């Protein structure tokens, strides 16, 4: 791995919470406005299972 990207895997403090890494899913329009809410939840669940630090 390129050493410049190592910081992405370091923990980070965000207020009172410590995220295990710097992968952060912000709330945004995903283009899936017609999708069933379960589909949108599954989209975020996949990122959580993949180890993303914060999924909102």
| pLDDT, tens only, 5-56 | 999 999 999 999 999 999 988 777 667 667 788 887 888 888 888 888 888 7
Chain-centroid distance, C-alpha 53: 6
Confidence (pLDDT) at 25: 82
One-character DSSP codes across 1-56: --GGGGGGGS-EEETTEEESSS-EE-----S-TTS-HHHHHHHHHHHHHTT-SEE-
Confidence (pLDDT) at 4: 93
Confidence (pLDDT) at 17: 92
């Amino acid at each position: 791995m390129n050493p410049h990207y190592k910081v992405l895997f370091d923990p980070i403090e965000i207020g009172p919470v410590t995220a295990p890494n710097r992968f952060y899913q912000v709330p945004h329009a995903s283009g899936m406005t017609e999708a069933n809410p379960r589909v949108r939840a599954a989209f975020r669940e996949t990122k959580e299972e993949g180890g993303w630090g914060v999924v909102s």
